Amino acid sequence: MRLLKAILISILIITVFSLAIQEKILQKPYSQVILTGRGFVVPSARVILLNTNPKGGEYMIAIFDPEANKTIFLRRTDRPINKEVTLPHSGPYYVLIDSELPVVCALKGVASYPSKEILNIEYGMGGVSALLLAGIILLERKRNDKS
């Protein structure tokens, strides 16, 4: 019983610290350069600035989201692109570049934030563990009063 209480208290404290930590760490700058088709894993939802520098000729660039199984950005053009793209959740994304001539594609993080689902999970988990802890303590007190 005491072990269960210790586990619940740990979960509660980890949750509180996680909420504080993610605000702090997600402020760090994020950037990367993609030359050919390539996937990347982001640890949080974010808004990125997509910047391309084509050498001429038409090219196609797309960002695919395997979680929702859909393309979140698609553009076929022969000009440089400078556009903000929202990555709605954490996890892997895939950037596809289709071009005859090399295209440099730079992704620069504008803002990173925990998505609504993550916050729901964190608040839910923290709330459930706090309630369970309170329930166990109350039950124990009742049992002690009886005996």
Token pair of 121 as six digits:
């999970």
Q: Count CB-CB contacts under 10 A for residue 82.
A: 10
Q: Smallest distance from the beta carbon of 40 to other proteins, in angstroms? A: 5
Q: Smallest distance from the beta carbon of 120 to other proteins, in angstroms? A: 9
Q: Does 143 bind other proteins (CB under 8 A)?
A: no
Number of residues that bind other proteins (CB under 8 A): 47
Residue 4 buriedness (CB in 10 A; 0-12 / 13-18 / 19+): exposed
Residues 6+ apart with CB under 8 A from 101: 54, 55, 56, 57, 59
Q: Smallest distance from the beta carbon of 142 to other proteins, in angstroms? A: 20
Identify the residue whose tokens are 């166990």.
136
Q: Does 38 bind other proteins (CB under 8 A)?
A: yes
Name the residues that contact other proteins, by CB under 8 A: 1-3, 6-7, 9-11, 13-15, 17-18, 21-22, 25-26, 28, 30, 32, 37-45, 64, 66-67, 69, 89-94, 96, 115-118, 121-122, 125
